[in-house]
Amino acid sequence: MDRITLCDLEVFYRVGVTEAERAQPQRLLLTVEMEHDLAPAAASDRLADTIDYFAVTQRLLRLGEGRHWELIEAVAGDIAQLVLRDFRAQRVSVEVKKFVLPQARYVSVHLSAQA
């Protein structure tokens, strides 16, 4: 299957187990791999025949407005469902990187789902 990848999209979401951790939006990096048959778009050169990655990006940038999560696993799950439901991906993989441990560059989760 063909794939479109958004790599390390910077977003700011309220996420954390404790209330104090959720008090302010935290910087996260999202990598979203969307599987879709790209042959029609390659032949037609029409945006309607592919996944509009700009539209996906805009949705993800706004996704955290007015909401919070305790776990980055839940963030990844919500993103996967949004992409499958609203952007016609046949399969999606989401990686969420969180910068919470001073001893590590980041902690991440990777979740995959399919339509």
Domains in the chain, CATH or no CATH each:
3-114 (3.30.1130.10)
Q: Which of 36, 111, 35 is nearest to 80 (CA)?
A: 111
pTM: 0.95
Task: List, for residues 66-87, the tens digit of each pLDDT value.
Answer: 999 999 999 999 999 999 999 9
- Catalytic site residues? 98
Q: Does residue 1 carry a pLDDT above 90? A: no
Q: Which of 95, 78, 106, 91 is nearest to 36 (CA)?
A: 91
C-beta neighbour count of 107 within 10 angstroms: 12
